A and B are shown apart, each in its own frame.
Chain A
């Protein structure tokens, strides 16, 4: 079975540019979450979507946005890139409603974004 897939694998952007990262969840999973992992730290929660609706947002500026499509895939957009946005961006998918317990999240391999 295919796991969570993310594209691209690596990306280099310049300060001020914008970027779009893509995620395809495990087949049948209806919830997608996005995390940012800066070098040397654990992943930090950015967004969570379920059935195409935003269910939660972490402490990130409005430059970060996301959406989930009818096929449950998702995009993370970051505008006006800063050097500090350089990180591994992780997508995780889950089967059901985020308010259900337990709620297992399965991560993709991530997109490594470098901002120069």
Chain B
């Protein structure tokens, strides 16, 4: 499995950009990086995914380094509702199925 390393916690002021880093130095060439978040006691919410190019959607932007060994999730204008645990996952495709291996993630606290 390509493992990921994330800081355990981060703080961000409301209205500012939140930049969440992730290291995945053992990622394989055909493995995607996925980001999910989980607000307390709710199901994980899909945010974004990428392979090698930077990606942007209505929720966030994903910046992947050229060597693909790390990435950064950017929430451009964090709100209090963005307080959650953010998971960076390199999805493993096994023989016939695909799993998400969740680590401990980063607890992002957005403050007023």
Contact = CB atoms under 8 A, between A and B. Distances in A.
Interface stretch (A12-20, A61-69, A71-79, A101-109): A101-109
Interface in A27-56: 33, 35, 42-45, 48, 50, 55-56
Q: How large is the interface on B (under 10, 10 to 19, 20 to 34, 35 or more residues)?
A: 20 to 34
Contacts, number: 73
A45 B101 CA distance: 7
Contacts of A109: 42-43
A101 B51 CA distance: 10
A51 to B, nearest CB: 12
Interface in B17-73: 30, 32, 34, 36, 41-46, 49, 51
Contacts of B32: 101-103
Contacts of A55: 96-97
Interface string B77-99: 00000000001000101101111
A56 B44 contact: no
Contact of A103 (B36, B98, B103): B98
B31 to A, nearest CB: 8
A107 B45 contact: yes
B42 A101 contact: no
A43 B102 contact: yes
27 contacts: A33-B99, A35-B100, A42-B87, A42-B102, A42-B103, A43-B102, A44-B102, A45-B101, A55-B96, A55-B97, A56-B99, A88-B41, A90-B44, A92-B44, A98-B93, A98-B98, A101-B91, A101-B98, A103-B32, A103-B91, A103-B98, A106-B46, A107-B44, A107-B46, A108-B43, A109-B42, A109-B43
Given A55-B96, A102-B32, A107-B43, 9 more contacts: A33-B99, A48-B98, A98-B93, A103-B32, A103-B91, A104-B34, A107-B46, A108-B43, A109-B42
